[in-house]
Structure 1
Amino acid sequence: MNNTSRIFGSNVFSEVTMKERLPKDTFKKLKRTLDYGEELTPAVAEVVANAMKDWAVEKGATHYTHWFQPMTGKTAEKHDSFIEPTGDGRVIMEFSGKQLIQGEPDASSFPNGGLRATFEARGYTAWDATSPAFVKDGTLYIPTAFCAYSGEALDKKTPLLRSMEALSTQAVRILRLFGDDNTQKVTSTVGPEQEYFIVDKKLYQQRKDLIFTGRTLFGALPPKGQELDDHYFGSIKDRISNFMKELDEELWKLGISSKTKHNEVAPAQHEMAPIFTTTNIAVDHNQLVMDTLIKVANRHDLACLLHEKPFAGVNGSGKHNNWSMGTDKMNLLEPGETPHENAQFLTFLVAVIAAVNRYAPLLRLAAASPGNDHRLGANEAPPAIISIFLGEQLTDIIEQIKNGALTSCTGHTCMDLGVKTLPKFEKDVTDRNRTSPFAFTGNKFEFRMLGSTMSISGPNIVLNTIVAEVLSEIADGLEKAEDFHGELSAIIEKLVKENFKVIFDGDGYDESWIREAEKRGLPNIKTSVEAIEVFSHEKNMDVFIKHGVFSKGEILARQEIMFEEYAKTINIEALTMIQVAKREIMPAVMNYGAELARDISSIASILPSAPLDGQKKQLDRITKAYDAAVVGLEALEEALAKTHEVKDIKEESKAYKFEVCPAMEVLRKPCDELETLVSEEAWPFPTYGDLLFRV
């Protein structure tokens, strides 16, 4: 066995490990919980807890934690040791079924959107047996859901699990109608690609904007950026390669199938991609990926930047959410050799198309964040307009359905490169479209709008729920039909005609698409604050409530949390900008200007006739830019003060977006100009050239 095979999943209490360590009867009962959602009894939990503790202790664990995902978008953990006093001055290592199943963290100190008052502190964590426990840094991590004392979900896992059950319920209904009486469960699966930047840690530590906000608030572009396309898929530097090697090993130990690594488009930008897994586990894994990226980078004297736009003027980072659904035997979005004859595939395909068109604002909401506002719509990320790319073969099929006569489909062709020594191979039936926000890529949809720091839970909650809704509509119609095939054809044709406008295979970056999308009636929600508003629209609340994913109270709480996060994020950025400008940039520029003025005066006193127009022009440019920076600083402080007076959280968020953010850009412009006028030695912190190329 090679080293990779030996270490993969070695720190995970996996199904294989459980089968080895649990009594056969206990394992079978636990397996039924995992596979069919049957209730877990206290007796089974007690046996599992003991086996899990013994395994973890053998791995060096001394503590356990209920690991959960509050509405911060990050993860949370409170560590308790296994030790229990024996009464004679010694301790034993114990872990009960009750401790496994339930924990009690503080519920009022996490974002709750008004669901909990400060004095109402009690909350509960509940073991999620569908996501395996693991050992990390001497602690047994137990994935859990997190809810308030009143029962409302305060986390991202609980509604995700609810949405997965909703999708499974409706998809199984469809399969029953197609004659599948054996499938008990349909699971959504995800493979999230993760983009990130790596910079030198010593340089990072000299930038307060990176430390406090995750992005550079000031910075002039260096002479070279990404224009030569030489970094993309280029040779990986030794220092980065060593970091990536350890990253893979740490992820493999946790059972995360890190598959792909490469340089991305921007200098210092990279990407990793895992193999697909169940959506719930994929969400947990992606949170671990982000945490591991930061920790491993730190061990290599590097800093990992996960922000969507750490550097202006070069590509930012996203997270591509490759989503599909299937049973333990088949992928329901696999077209097969003759997709035009595959009625079951077409049913699920059309359900996704209809869901995306009808609930496009919810998908835009799922990609909303302060950082992502810097990417969406630029020529580095999909536009804010939701559309679907199907490719030549499927678009042709859908057009035939729209026109009422489905008879054929294009097939595979052979690729001949015209060189005898190069192999001929079968090419795909369609090209890829990297400008589409929602693209079909063989047997899955790639939702490409997500920001790199985001939890992928929210987008997949939306996808699961809206597809479940259309599947339920299809199932309702088919279950009452006397002529199944006739009714199915009618439903598919109706859904295609109603939702065809969302299909677009062209260039999503082209300005003409914005005008075309408007003609089609597709929404163009440009900013996150506008996207957050749609959460409480009646149509959107109804779909979540109908399928038991959110209650009305949970929706309104999450909307408030999203507005609060937006406002607080921009407030931190603005305050950081003010501090850096006042304490670092302006004093440095003033000192440099004064030194230049003294030099001019000194030269003039010695050589009265010396030509000093060049030096004076330089000083004049610096003085004017400095003055513009002072004006910009005062304007930002004024805009911030006015925004602080706004009491309504939605209106406050809008003020941050439309008043504070523009004021920040006004201040940045002269400061970035000053960077180009002041000597490198006098500038107070590392530049873009330092951060992007000195790794």
Structure 2
Amino acid sequence: MNHDLDVISAARNWRVDASAPATPAEVIGDLFASDVLTLEDLKTRLSKPAYKSLRGTVERGERLDPAIADTVALAMKTWAMEKGATHYTHWFQPLTGATAEKHDSFVSPNGDGVAIATFSGKELIQAEPDASSFPSGGLRATFEARGYTAWDPSSPAFIMRHANGATLCIPTAFASWTGEALDLKTPLLRSVEALNRAVTPALHLFGASLGTRVGSTLGAEQEYFLIAEEYFFRRPDLVMTGRTLFGAQPPRGQELEDHYFGAIPDRVLSFMTDAELQLYALGIPVKTRHNEVAPGQFEIAPIFEQSNVAADHQQLIMQVLRNTARKYGLVALLHEKPFAGVNGSGKHGNWSMSTDAGENLLEPGDTPHENLQFLFFCAAVIKAVDEHQDLLRISVASASNDHRLGANEAPPAIISIFLGSELTDIFDRLESGQGGRGTEAGLLGLGSSVLPPIPRHAGDRNRTSPFAFTGNKFEFRAVGSSQSISFPITVLNTIVADAVQSLTAVLKAKLDGGADLAAAVGEVVRETYRQHKRIVFNGDGYSEEWHREAEEERGLLNLRTSLDAIPHLTDRKNVELFGKFGVLSERELAARQEIMYDIYFKTVNIEGETTEYIAQTMILPAAAEYLGDLGAVKIPSRALDATAREVAGLTDELYDALQILREQNKALGGEEIHDKAHHVRDHVLPAMREVRQAADRLEKVVADKQWPLPTYRQLLFVK
């Protein structure tokens, strides 16, 4: 194989859509949300009573009135067909972590050789996809197929376009015939309502009017890699697992730190612009794009939205990135660690709470030490994270994220909170009884008269923190790039609801006893911080000193792998927490635990068998062929003899390691999925590492023309 021709082909074989780009005026005026059925669109298509009823459901969480279903369905069908849609689908999020859809045509023959377009209220509100073919964790047996999708009117319907048409997508929940949640959306919606029920009584104590509603907001940054399509299909490991199971480190990686925020290559920028225009049409408020730290790594970030809609939008972002990349001869990799030795990819969830009037409850204001409401809710978050470290770790647990956590700007598995110097100083002073303000944010002088002074943020940023306060929100940095954001946000909503409810009861008791609001809040915040400040850490999360301090002195959990974390999901305290707020029943929680074990096992099992296949059928033959070439040279040469001995030794190492991996792949570890999962973690993964080490050393000595896999040098740097 001629790698030089491959490099040229990969660099040149890309295509650009020749259509004229949208102008800024078109993006702002006509394009944004043009493929979304907004409330404003429905206002012109529905009667006033129907519109008022639907708006109450969307904005105030009022029960959906089935009587308006046919009216809404007709308006939705008419709008979709005007947009070019011929089919509709109930778009849902099963427990695979991906999305699912079954398309039905609007066209219905009427028996007279004529077809008409139909779409009823019944078809809008409910559909019946097969529930037995999706993960259920025991909630559904294979022979029990019935499941239902139910329209979620709080997330707007939208149009997904393809080369030959368009489809109306209706966001829905997915539940079994028994009424148990088989998806990620249903618990998220339940957790949003739980947060509302817990936080509004607290707001009333601070003077909020009755009728105020509270929800969580989310802006989820998405990191990803782009590689040439030419190389992707030459790598069975990328095709089958999403990550490279082999690959020697190239002479240059990310150590020059020149890729981060660098000029975006034209091919990549063209892809980004195309993807953004599609996302704008879907009403997704993407704001930022840039080169990330590793070569070939990039990021796209939207601004915040209500968390349910943001979670739907996040799934669409991943789908659009994947689909659009292929138009440009690229493949978007969303795996948490597609390449060893360089940055992995996360999905940083910027989370906060806000009222229906748009008030951010985690906005400190100009004087956070005087902002009683902010301090109260911030203290509740500190309490929630400390008491439920296990749940936050579980919410990001996966075989793929295990490769990422703990290095290259990804946070460690130990959950802690970064508050920043000013906010930490405020809480420390409150705890000690000093009050007032210590650390000043001030202005940052830049040492030149031509540069203006700029406001210094109250705290620095900490890339090693799993959960960091970033001005008016918390950034959950441990979320993996390929996973759905829904479960981490479900957990966050629920644990904060629990903490707020607890602190509200304490605060109300003090107020009922005659205490002044400021004094009562001060006491609640002081005592809460005193009890839970062990979770606050502003230093280097990678240091060995922190790991020892966290475990030995602070008593924090260090659940290093997913299999260390997953068993805690059904701990009694967690079952009671989710049950108390009606977010997940004990059966639903146990089912999710079973699915997590199952997906972990299957993920590593596929990786183990793919490693065996590549090593046996591609790398060993390449090494043998090179050895044959070296032996065919009859001229005495110390260089050739030494090279042959080195290749022969490494080939034997690879063969020996491969035999161990083959045995472990066959063993499987038992009949129960829990035993199988532990077997692949404890035996298959170490065996894979041994095979890889020998193969990666061979890559550095076998002739380039005979090496069967595109290398890191090509994958990361050819754009």
TM-score scaled to structure 2, two decimals? 0.94
Give the alignment of 1:175-324 within 5 angstroms: 175-324=203-352
- Match among 108, 123, 137 for residue 84 of structure 1: 108
- Is structure 2 residue 376 aligned with structure 1 residue 353? no
Measured after TM superposition, the shift of residue 491 of structure 1 is 2.3
Measured after TM superposition, the shift of residue 87 of structure 1 is 1.9
- Match among 463, 471, 487 for residue 500 of structure 2: 471
CA distance in 2, matches of 1:404, 1:361: 32
SS at match of 1:21: coil
Measured after TM superposition, the shift of residue 19 of structure 1 is 1.9
Matched letter for residue 536 of structure 2: I
- Match among 167, 173, 198 for residue 201 of structure 2: 173
Measured after TM superposition, the shift of residue 43 of structure 1 is 2.3
Matched letter for residue 213 of structure 1: T
Equivalent position of 2:155 in the other structure:
131
- Match among 566, 576, 588 for residue 542 of structure 1: 576
Gaps in structure 2 of 5+ consecutive residues: 1-23
Contact 2:669-2:679 at 8 Å conserved across structures: no
Measured after TM superposition, the shift of residue 24 of structure 1 is 2.2
Equivalent position of 1:566 in the other structure:
600
Contact 1:340-1:409 at 8 Å conserved across structures: no
- Is structure 2 residue 532 aligned with structure 1 residue 499? yes
- Tell me the alpha carbon deviations over residues 428-457 of structure 1, each in whole angstroms, 9 at most, x when there is no partner: 222211111110001000000011101001
Equivalent position of 1:390 in the other structure:
419
Contact 1:11-1:255 at 8 Å conserved across structures: yes
SS at match of 2:433: coil
Matched letter for residue 378 of structure 1: A
- Is structure 2 residue 36 aligned with structure 1 residue 2? no
- Match among 673, 679, 683 for residue 649 of structure 1: 673
Equivalent position of 1:629 in the other structure:
654
Contact 2:131-2:146 at 8 Å conserved across structures: yes
- Tell me the alpha carbon deviations over residues 550-593 of structure 1, each in whole angstroms, 9 at most, x when there is no partner: 00000100000000000000000001111111111111111111
Matched letter for residue 341 of structure 1: E
Measured after TM superposition, the shift of residue 483 of structure 1 is 2.6
Measured after TM superposition, the shift of residue 301 of structure 1 is 1.1
CA distance in 1, matches of 2:346, 2:713: 22
Equivalent position of 2:514 in the other structure:
483
Contact 1:163-1:547 at 8 Å conserved across structures: yes
Contact 2:669-2:675 at 8 Å conserved across structures: no
CA distance in 2, matches of 1:461, 1:509: 27
CA distance in 2, matches of 1:380, 1:615: 43
CA distance in 2, matches of 1:275, 1:81: 35
Measured after TM superposition, the shift of residue 183 of structure 1 is 4.2
- Is structure 2 residue 435 aligned with structure 1 residue 402? no
Equivalent position of 1:115 in the other structure:
139
Equivalent position of 2:693 in the other structure:
669
CA distance in 1, matches of 2:618, 2:419: 51
CA distance in 2, matches of 1:540, 1:401: 31
The share of aligned pairs that are identical, in percent, is: 52
Measured after TM superposition, the shift of residue 487 of structure 1 is 4.0
CA distance in 1, matches of 2:302, 2:321: 14
Matched letter for residue 3 of structure 1: E
- Tell me the alpha carbon deviations over residues 377-408 of structure 1, each in whole angstroms, 9 at most, x when there is no partner: 12331111111111111101111122133233
SS at match of 2:358: coil
- Tell me the alpha carbon deviations over residues 251-310 of structure 1, each in whole angstroms, 9 at most, x when there is no partner: 111001111000001000000000100000110000000011000001111101000111
- Tell me the alpha carbon deviations over residues 469-508 of structure 1, each in whole angstroms, 9 at most, x when there is no partner: 0111122223333235354333222211110111111111
- Match among 627, 631, 635 for residue 597 of structure 1: 631
The size of the alignment, in residue pairs, is 685
SS at match of 2:85: coil
Contact 1:218-1:668 at 8 Å conserved across structures: yes
Equivalent position of 1:371 in the other structure:
400
Matched letter for residue 558 of structure 2: N
- Match among 418, 421, 428 for residue 450 of structure 2: 421
Matched letter for residue 12 of structure 1: V
CA distance in 2, matches of 1:573, 1:298: 24
CA distance in 2, matches of 1:586, 1:399: 61
SS at match of 1:18: helix
CA distance in 2, matches of 1:357, 1:576: 40
Contact 2:73-2:121 at 8 Å conserved across structures: yes
Equivalent position of 2:641 in the other structure:
616
CA distance in 2, matches of 1:487, 1:262: 46
CA distance in 1, matches of 2:354, 2:71: 32
CA distance in 2, matches of 1:639, 1:511: 32
CA distance in 2, matches of 1:249, 1:512: 47
CA distance in 2, matches of 1:365, 1:104: 31
SS at match of 1:62: strand
- Is structure 2 residue 565 aligned with structure 1 residue 515? no
CA distance in 2, matches of 1:483, 1:596: 91
Matched letter for residue 56 of structure 1: A
Equivalent position of 1:606 in the other structure:
none
Measured after TM superposition, the shift of residue 409 of structure 1 is 4.8
Equivalent position of 2:15 in the other structure:
none
Matched letter for residue 634 of structure 1: Q
SS at match of 1:92: strand
Matched letter for residue 412 of structure 2: P
- Is structure 2 residue 578 aligned with structure 1 residue 555? no
Contact 2:156-2:171 at 8 Å conserved across structures: yes
CA distance in 1, matches of 2:699, 2:408: 26
Equivalent position of 1:103 in the other structure:
127
SS at match of 1:120: coil
SS at match of 1:143: strand
CA distance in 1, matches of 2:679, 2:626: 36
CA distance in 2, matches of 1:153, 1:322: 26
Deviates more, 1:341-350 or 1:474-483: 474-483
Matched letter for residue 126 of structure 1: A
CA distance in 2, matches of 1:419, 1:377: 39
CA distance in 2, matches of 1:397, 1:474: 19
Contact 1:194-1:273 at 8 Å conserved across structures: yes
- Match among 678, 683, 690 for residue 659 of structure 1: 683
CA distance in 1, matches of 2:447, 2:701: 54
SS at match of 2:706: coil
Measured after TM superposition, the shift of residue 16 of structure 1 is 2.0
CA distance in 2, matches of 1:406, 1:379: 38
CA 415–622 in structure 1, closer or farther in 2 if over 3 Å, else same: same
Measured after TM superposition, the shift of residue 86 of structure 1 is 1.7
Matched letter for residue 482 of structure 1: G
- Tell me the alpha carbon deviations over residues 171-224 of structure 1, each in whole angstroms, 9 at most, x when there is no partner: 001011122123431010000000000000011111000000000000111111
Measured after TM superposition, the shift of residue 329 of structure 1 is 3.2
Deviates more, 1:416-425 or 1:56-65: 416-425
SS at match of 2:472: coil
Equivalent position of 2:186 in the other structure:
158
Measured after TM superposition, the shift of residue 464 of structure 1 is 0.3
Equivalent position of 2:477 in the other structure:
448
CA distance in 1, matches of 2:414, 2:433: 28
CA distance in 2, matches of 1:229, 1:636: 36
CA distance in 1, matches of 2:687, 2:246: 13
CA distance in 1, matches of 2:211, 2:656: 67
Matched letter for residue 513 of structure 2: E
SS at match of 1:314: coil
SS at match of 1:259: strand
